[in-house]
Amino acid sequence: MIITKQKSNEDILKLLGGRKNVFIVGCGSCAEQCKTGGKEDVQRMKEFLEKHGKNVTGWIVPDETCHIPLVKRDLRSVDAGLKSSDAVLVMACGAGVSAVRESVEIAIYPSNDTVSVGNTIRLGQFAGRCSLCGECILGETMGYCPITMCPKGVLNGPCGGMDKGKCEVDKNDDCVWVKIYDAMFVCPEERRKVIKAKDYSKMKRGAKTEA
Please write the tens of the pLDDT for every residue from 57-86.
999 999 999 999 999 999 999 999 999 999
Which of 3-12, 24-33, 137-146, 181-190 has the lowest average pLDDT?
Answer: 181-190
Greatest Cα-to-Cα distance within the chain, rounded to the nearest angstrom: 65
Residue type, 83: K
pLDDT of residue 121: 78
Rounded Cα gap, residues 177 and 146, in angstroms: 7
For the chain, give the DSSP string: -EEEEEPPHHHHHHHHTT--EEEEE--SSHHHHTTSSSHHHHHHHHHHHHHTT-EEEEEE--S-TT-HHHHHHHHHTTHHHHHT-SEEEE-S-HHHHHHHHTT--SEEEESEEEEEEEEEEETTEEEEEE---SS--TTTTTT--HHHHSTT--SSS--TT-BTTB-SSSTTSBPHHHHHHHHGGGSGGGGG--PPPP-GGGS-SS-----
Residue with more model confidence, 138 or 13: 13
pLDDT of residue 135: 83
At 116-162, the pLDDT tens digits run 887 877 777 778 788 888 888 887 888 899 988 999 999 888 999 99
pTM assigned to the model: 0.79
Which pLDDT band holds residue 33 (cuts at 50, 70, 90)? very high
Q: Domains in the chain and their CATH numbers?
A: 2-115 (3.40.50.2300), 132-201 (no CATH)
Which pLDDT band holds residue 204 (cuts at 50, 70, 90)? low
Q: Percent of the chain beyond pLDDT 70?
A: 92
Which pLDDT band holds residue 195 (cuts at 50, 70, 90)? confident
pLDDT of residue 210: 55
Q: Minimal CA–CA distance to 128: which of 34, 6, 196? A: 34
